[in-house]
């Protein structure tokens, strides 16, 4: 006798009793008195079943006319079982021969215990149905399996005896016929254009057992007509793999054929959608089609493509076999076509070989069963007995247990979850998460629970700690809970409960059914790096939008309003705002706070005090810091290269000839390598996109031509790569707009001493004038003068000597030891230090410019996040080859360059250098670096200030950049603002070195600029560089006029007048402008000096010269005056050369 626990299917009633194992009892049964006592629900059998005693006489009790469905638990073993209701005397439960045969338990007769050592119920969970559709047929390969018997005394058939004729045909056990009729869904093997016309493979050696299995496989399939002997030019390998039970599974390896085959995108049904169709159903019948893919014929003429080679010869299949690509799609197409009318009626669902019939009414259910069985017979499709169930109230379907109005996880598949061992490597963890992910809709906050685990499945180092173990145990605990989800109906109200935490969104969908709210589904999603930086109300609204999209098929068109529960009060007004805003037609335009002054002031009144911070969990870094994540991986780029290699004329126009003579040309996986670098063929955008990865990317930081070329050539090569990189960098608008001028300075150069080791000689400088960022307003730049590596430390202008010592300790000494020489400009923050050598260091100044340029490109508009970008700016610099050394700082320090492209995989070099070899290599690198530094220092001194930059000549219609030094732009600090604005069109040349530009209409400034303030605009060289020009920046106040500080000079020149009129002498003035440097001094015509009375008077008083000209307004003479062109001093009198309206000129004495 065994202690057992019975759980009813309908009302989840749990009953404890004792059961008797009886191998003489044909079927398991339950006592009628026990059923009546506990009011168990029963199901009627199709016809009465006669019961016989052990001696063959008919049982005097009643025949079996009903049975109960229960869940049977013995210890840790659990299963669903049907028990016939009959009279059993004093015993409540008999476990008969059918149960013993199914489980084959080990019985300890001494202790009276049962061990389920061979029972599948307690092994690791079965494979889930959507892991690989091909795996679903693994158990159906054996022709010797028992087919649904047509013996009318078998219980399964008795329960559907009124279907006997159709069922007998559908379950006939004979082997498949040799003839296969041509059908619309015959499996076609269509090859991609230019695919190989032959395939070759090796023959695998077989051991004795494998040879016997091969002979059996070939003989049976030749006899059944599934395969025939072949002379095909195609051959795929054939071998065996072991199943879990130790038996052998034959495998045709169609990998190469599948690569050449055009993919069929016919969809498989979504399991969630199939479950949703079951709403309202009470009765279920599940049928399983036998022989799987072998029921589909290969299209005539394509059979030879699937030929496989064995040691007994070459054979080709006439029907679909496993591992052929498109097989699941073809089989699903066949099933959908055969049962399309029943599927459209909403009474049948089909997933590959699984047929599920579901209805609310039993009579209708039986009619549908008959129709299904009839169609199976018509198409000569057969069933497998072990997997068929008829007219049940609960059944396992596609990995879950379904019953009337509800669905739950299958406890049989979860039986081993509690004993699942702790993962010790990524593969084991991925296996566990792959299993649990199938049931995520049953687990509340799944993404949040597994977050600590999923972080270990990527490229992160394997570190299993307390956090991971807690998440692992929590997930196992939640998987073991018996969560029951309701199948939604079309009448009840829906409720969505959404919540968001730091790293994940969690939501639950519920429906009101029979007066109570029942959970329908759980949904969770890990937030992306960008989403984690949203404000809290944006996160809450994002959660609502995601769950509405996820459950759109439930909520769209719901009969009653959908309740959405959120813990953020402000969002309750969102629907009302949407309704009110829908009455208006408007567009939204962004206006920065400095321009939207009125609204900004109103929103910042003193009575609008900000409340307590409820966003304490917000990540400091803004979303832009993570756009590196969208960078194409090397594998993606290589796939593009492979495609381009197939499509473009790689070997045309002499390229092949030139490459064939080069050494180091290799080919792997359809990609050519030159000198261990990927060859990139000509393509409309591919080369430009690859250059962009090494120039525009956040980890590259827009380096110059040489450094961009060095980064590109670490991975890729193509002819004229240097010219392409040069054209790309010169055409980069971001670089043109942000980089500083590098013109030579007049002072002589005195190079510092050359170090011989890394980090023995460092230089430091402080970049000031920065806006506040995380409490910092200055940047300390530390440069290793040997390797050119840098360390960037945010700090404050008021940095004390103690503060500097702390930075030196934490960032230099702790990593590289104490430096011997520290070079600085002895700024005030270093007064207390005595170890510094006060020398001017141009190297650090250049690094400063480079870092400032990097920050200009990537920081936000308000410049408040520059401190967050310093680690990436440091990486970008240290990963680029320096012009003085020819190597990157990383290479000099560590002997390698880190990858800036995800999953970078250069051609493999499996040799790991020994420690001594590595030391010698590093010593060689350091010696060569020292020599290179000495040579570079000499060259710099010789070339420094050797030539003065000649003036650039521009022409009308040219585009130029305008120096932004003296423009009053709205961004906080000029140091991190763009160095140039534009580009602008040149309208005309207005002097020897001055040009008039076409400025934005709202810029109320002088349009003429000296050539020194202009730089040429270089258009993009590659299609991927082209982008719409940014809008011109706003000038503060928008109405600014340039104010004259002083008139420095003047000169007359003649202007040709109209025909018949004498030429006119016009005066130009050379002006020094207030707040601008001498580079902005410019010539201005007299006509543009309308408001210059005081400046002209000062100029007159200063010069007292007949050769200086000023324009002043004098008493109007009889003839109307246009302007004064010149003047003459005669003692105390002044005479003016005046221009009249009629075009004449005369000398006019000033009236007192």
Where does the pLDDT of residue 343 fall: very low under 50, low under 70, confident under 90, or very high at 90 and above?
confident
Ramachandran region, residue 1037 (left: φ > 0; alpha: ψ -120 to 50; beta: rest)? left
The 10s digit of each residue's pLDDT in 65-97 is 888 888 888 877 788 888 888 888 788 888 888
CATH (residue range 633-733):
1.10.340.70
CATH 1.10.340.70 boundaries in the chain: 633-733
pLDDT the model gives residue 133? 40
Angstrom distance (rounded) from CA 854 to CA 1044:
36
Query: If we measure between CA atoms, which residue out of 526, 185, 125 comes closest to residue 340?
Result: 185
**pLDDT higher than 70, residue 607:** no
- CA 1063 vs. chain centroid, Å, equals 71
Angstrom distance (rounded) from CA 970 to CA 591:
12
pLDDT the model gives residue 315? 92
The 10s digit of each residue's pLDDT in 544-582 is 777 777 766 666 666 677 777 765 555 554 555 555 555
Q: Which CATH superfamily is domain 133-409 in?
A: Reverse transcriptase/Diguanylate cyclase domain (3.30.70.270)
Where does the pLDDT of residue 642 fall: very low under 50, low under 70, confident under 90, or very high at 90 and above?
low
Contacts of residue 910, Cβ cutoff 8 Å, sequence gap at least 6: none
> Euclidean distance between the first and final Cα of the chain, in Å?
137
Where does the pLDDT of residue 203 fall: very low under 50, low under 70, confident under 90, or very high at 90 and above?
confident
Where does the pLDDT of residue 265 fall: very low under 50, low under 70, confident under 90, or very high at 90 and above?
confident
Angstrom distance (rounded) from CA 669 to CA 645:
11
Cis peptide before 983 (omega within 30 of 0): yes
Where does the pLDDT of residue 653 fall: very low under 50, low under 70, confident under 90, or very high at 90 and above?
very low
Based on the number of CB atoms within 10 Å of its own CB, is 881 exposed (0-12), middle (13-18) or buried (19 or more)? buried
Pairing of strands 677-679, 671-674: antiparallel
Where does the pLDDT of residue 1050 fall: very low under 50, low under 70, confident under 90, or very high at 90 and above?
confident
Lowest-confidence range among 319-328, 429-438, 654-663?
654-663
Tell me the two tokens of residue 86.
């009959």
- CA 85 vs. chain centroid, Å, equals 58
What value does the mean pLDDT take over residues 357-373?
Answer: 87
Tell me the two tokens of residue 800.
């004390």
User: Cα-atom radius of gyration of the chain, to the nearest Å?
Assistant: 43
CATH 3.30.420.10 boundaries in the chain: 761-943
Angstrom distance (rounded) from CA 267 to CA 264:
9
**pLDDT higher than 50, residue 145:** no
Lowest-confidence range among 87-101, 314-328, 469-483?
469-483
Beta pairing partners, 52: 58
Is pLDDT larger for residue 944 or for residue 184?
A: 184
Angstrom distance (rounded) from CA 548 to CA 564:
10
**pLDDT higher than 50, residue 616:** no
Tell me the two tokens of residue 773.
């960022």
**Mean pLDDT score of the chain:** 70
The 10s digit of each residue's pLDDT in 208-261 is 888 888 999 999 888 888 889 988 999 998 888 887 677 888 888 888 888 888
Contacts of residue 721, Cβ cutoff 8 Å, sequence gap at least 6: 709, 712, 713
Topology classification of domain 761-943: Nucleotidyltransferase; domain 5 (3.30.420)
Percent of the chain, pLDDT > 70?
57
Is pLDDT larger for residue 602 or for residue 177?
A: 177
Q: Write down the architecture of domain 2-122 according to CATH.
A: Beta Barrel (2.40)
The 10s digit of each residue's pLDDT in 995-1027 is 888 887 766 666 777 777 788 888 887 776 666
Beta pairing partners, 16: 5
pLDDT the model gives residue 200? 86
What value does the mean pLDDT take over residues 755-772?
Answer: 83
Is pLDDT larger for residue 1055 or for residue 958?
A: 958
What value does the mean pLDDT take over residues 1123-1127?
Answer: 54
- How many H-runs (helices) and E-runs (strands) does the chain carry? 31, 46
| Assigned CATH class of 483-571+617-628 | alpha beta
pLDDT the model gives residue 675? 73
Across 296-310, 577-591, 683-697, 1048-1062, the highest mean pLDDT is recorded for: 296-310
pLDDT the model gives residue 918? 55
CATH 2.40.70.10 boundaries in the chain: 2-122
The DSSP symbol for 966 reads T
Across 116-130, 529-543, 824-838, 861-875, the highest mean pLDDT is recorded for: 861-875
The 10s digit of each residue's pLDDT in 1070-1097 is 777 765 656 566 777 766 665 566 676 6
Contacts of residue 329, Cβ cutoff 8 Å, sequence gap at least 6: 264, 265, 266, 267, 268
**pLDDT higher than 60, residue 286:** yes
Q: Quick check: 360 and 282 in contact, CB under 8 A?
A: yes
Angstrom distance (rounded) from CA 724 to CA 709:
9
pLDDT the model gives residue 815? 84
Is pLDDT larger for residue 431 or for residue 78?
A: 78
Is pLDDT larger for residue 1122 or for residue 604?
A: 1122
What value does the mean pLDDT take over residues 109-126?
Answer: 52
pLDDT the model gives residue 647? 40
**pLDDT higher than 50, residue 885:** yes
């Amino acid at each position: 006798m065994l202690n057992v626990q019975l759980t009813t299917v309908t009302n989840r009633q749990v009953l404890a009793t004792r059961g008797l194992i009886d191998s003489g009892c044909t079927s398991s049964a339950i006592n009628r008195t026990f059923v009546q006592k506990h009011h168990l629900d029963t199901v009627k059998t199709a016809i009465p079943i006669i019961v016989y005693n052990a001696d063959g006489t008919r049982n005097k009790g009643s025949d079996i006319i009903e049975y109960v469905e229960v869940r049977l638990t013995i210890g840790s073993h659990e299963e669903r079982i049907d028990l016939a209701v009959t009279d059993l005397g004093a015993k409540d439960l008999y476990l008969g021969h059918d149960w013993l045969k199914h489980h084959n338990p080990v019985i300890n007769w001494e202790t009276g215990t049962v061990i389920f050592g061979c029972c599948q119920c307690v092994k690791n969970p079965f494979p889930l149905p959507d892991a690989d559709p091909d795996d679903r047929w693994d158990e159906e390969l054996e022709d010797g399996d028992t087919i649904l018997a047509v013996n009318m005394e078998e219980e399964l058939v008795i329960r559907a005896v009124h279907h006997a004729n159709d069922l007998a045909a559908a379950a006939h056990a004979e082997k498949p016929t040799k003839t296969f009729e041509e059908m619309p869904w015959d499996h076609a093997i269509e090859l991609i254009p230019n695919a190989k016309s032959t395939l070759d493979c090796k023959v695998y050696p077989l051991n004795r057992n494998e040879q016997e299995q091969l002979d059996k496989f070939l003989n049976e399939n030749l006899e059944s007509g599934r395969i025939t002997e072949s002379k095909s030019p195609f051959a795929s390998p054939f071998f065996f793999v072991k199943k879990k039970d130790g038996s052998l599974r034959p495998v045709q390896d169609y990998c190469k054929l599948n690569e050449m085959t055009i993919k069929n995108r016919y969809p498989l049904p979504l399991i969630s959608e199939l479950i949703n169709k079951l709403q309202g159903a009470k009765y279920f019948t599940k049928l399983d089609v036998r022989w799987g893919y072998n029921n589909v014929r290969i299209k005539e003429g394509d059979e030879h493509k699937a030929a496989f080679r064995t040691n007994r010869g070459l054979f080709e299949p006439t029907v679909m076999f496993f591992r052929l690509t498109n097989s699941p799609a073809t089989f699903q197409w066949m099933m959908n076509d055969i049962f399309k009318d029943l599927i459209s009626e909403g009474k049948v669902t089909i997933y590959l070989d699984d047929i599920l019939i579901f209805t609310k009414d039993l009579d209708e259910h039986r009619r549908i069963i008959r129709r299904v069985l009839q169609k199976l017979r018509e198409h000569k499709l057969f069933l497998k007995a072990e997997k068929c169930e008829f007219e049940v109230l609960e059944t396992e379907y596609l990995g879950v247990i379904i019953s009337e109005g509800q669905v739950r996880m299958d406890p049989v598949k979860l039986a081993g979850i509690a004993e699942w061992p702790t993962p010790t490597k990524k593969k084991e963890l991925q296996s566990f998460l792959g299993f649990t992910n199938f049931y995520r809709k049953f687990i509340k906050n799944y993404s949040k629970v597994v977050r600590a685990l999923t972080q270990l499945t990527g490229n992160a180092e394997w570190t299993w700690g307390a956090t991971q173990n807690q998440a692992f145990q929590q997930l196992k605990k939640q998987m073991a809970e018996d969560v029951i989800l309701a199948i939604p109906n079309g009448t009840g109200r829906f409720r969505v409960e959404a919540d968001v935490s730091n790293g994940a969104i969690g939501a639950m969908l519920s429906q009101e059914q029979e007066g109570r709210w029942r959970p329908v589904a759980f949904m969770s999603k890990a937030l992306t790096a960008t989403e984690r930086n949203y404000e809290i109300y944006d996160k809450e609204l994002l959660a609502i939008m995601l769950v509405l999209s996820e459950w759109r098929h439930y909520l769209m068109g719901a009969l009653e309003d959908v309740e959405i529960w959120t813990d953020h009060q402000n969002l309750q007004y969102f629907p009302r705002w949407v309704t009110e805003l829908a009455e208006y037609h408007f567009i939204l335009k962004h206006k920065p706070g400095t321009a939207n002054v009125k609204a900004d002031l109103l929103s910042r009144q003193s009575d609008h005090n900000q409340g307590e911070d409820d966003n304490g969990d917000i990540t400091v870094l803004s979303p832009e810091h993570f756009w590196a994540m969208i960078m194409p991986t090397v594998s993606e780029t290589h796939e593009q290269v492979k495609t381009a290699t197939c499509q473009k004329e790689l070997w045309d126009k002499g390229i092949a000839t030139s490459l064939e003579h080069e050494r180091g040309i290799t080919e792997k996986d359809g990609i050519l390598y030159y000198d261990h670098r990927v060859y990139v063929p000509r393509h409309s955008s591919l080369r430009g996109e690859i250059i962009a990865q090494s120039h525009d990317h956040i980890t590259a930081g827009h380096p110059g031509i040489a450094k961009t070329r060095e980064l590109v050539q670490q991975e890729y090569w193509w002819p004229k790569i240097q010219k392409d990189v040069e054209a790309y960098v010169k055409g980069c608008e971001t670089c043109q707009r942000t980089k500083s001028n590098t013109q030579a300075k007049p002072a002589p150069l005195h190079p510092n001493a050359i170090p011989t080791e890394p980090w023995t000689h460092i230089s430091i400088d402080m970049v000031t004038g920065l806006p506040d960022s995380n409490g910092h307003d200055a940047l300390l730049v530390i440069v290793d003068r040997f390797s050119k590596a840098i360390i960037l430390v945010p700090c404050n202008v008021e940095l004390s000597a103690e503060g500097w010592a702390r930075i030196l300790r934490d960032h230099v000494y702790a990593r590289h030891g104490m430096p011997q020489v520290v070079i600085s400009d002895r700024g005030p923050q270093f007064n207390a230090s005595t170890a510094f050598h006060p020398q001017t260091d141009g190297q650090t100044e250049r690094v400063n410019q480079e870092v400032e340029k990097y920050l200009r490109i990537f920081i936000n508009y308000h410049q408040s996040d520059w401190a967050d970008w310093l680690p990436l700016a440091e990486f970008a610099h240290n990963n680029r080859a320096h012009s003085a050394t020819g190597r990157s700082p990383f290479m000099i320090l560590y002997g390698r360059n880190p990858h800036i492209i995800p999953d970078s995989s250069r051609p493999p070099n499996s040799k790991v250098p020994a420690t001594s070899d590595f030391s010698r290599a590093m010593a060689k690198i350091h010696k060569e670096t020292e020599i290179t530094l000495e040579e570079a220092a000499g060259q710099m001194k010789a070339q420094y200030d050797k030539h003065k930059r000649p003036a650039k000549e521009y022409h009308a219609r040219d585009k130029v950049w305008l120096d932004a030094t003296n423009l009053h732009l709205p961004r906080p600090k000029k140091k991190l603002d763009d160095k140039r604005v534009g580009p602008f069109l040149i309208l005309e040349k207005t002097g020897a070195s001055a040009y008039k530009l076409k400025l934005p209409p709202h810029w109320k400034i002088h349009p003429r600029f000296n050539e020194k303030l202009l730089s040429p605009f270089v258009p993009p060289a590659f299609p991927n560089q082209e982008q719409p020009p940014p809008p011109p920046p706003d000038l503060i106040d928008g109405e600014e006029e340039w104010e004259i500080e002083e008139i420095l000079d003047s000169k007359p020149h003649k202007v040709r007048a109209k025909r018949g009129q004498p030429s006119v002498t016009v005066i130009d003035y050379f002006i020094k402008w207030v707040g601008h440097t001498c580079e902005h001094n410019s010539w201005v015509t007299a006509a543009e000096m309308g408001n210059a009375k005081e400046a002209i008077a000062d100029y007159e008083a200063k010069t007292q010269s007949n050769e200086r000209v000023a324009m002043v307004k004098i008493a109007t003479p009889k003839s109307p005056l246009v302007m004064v062109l010149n003047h003459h001093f005669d003692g105390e009198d002044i005479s003016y050369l005046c221009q009249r309206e009629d075009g004449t000129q005369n000398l006019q004495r000033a009236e007192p």
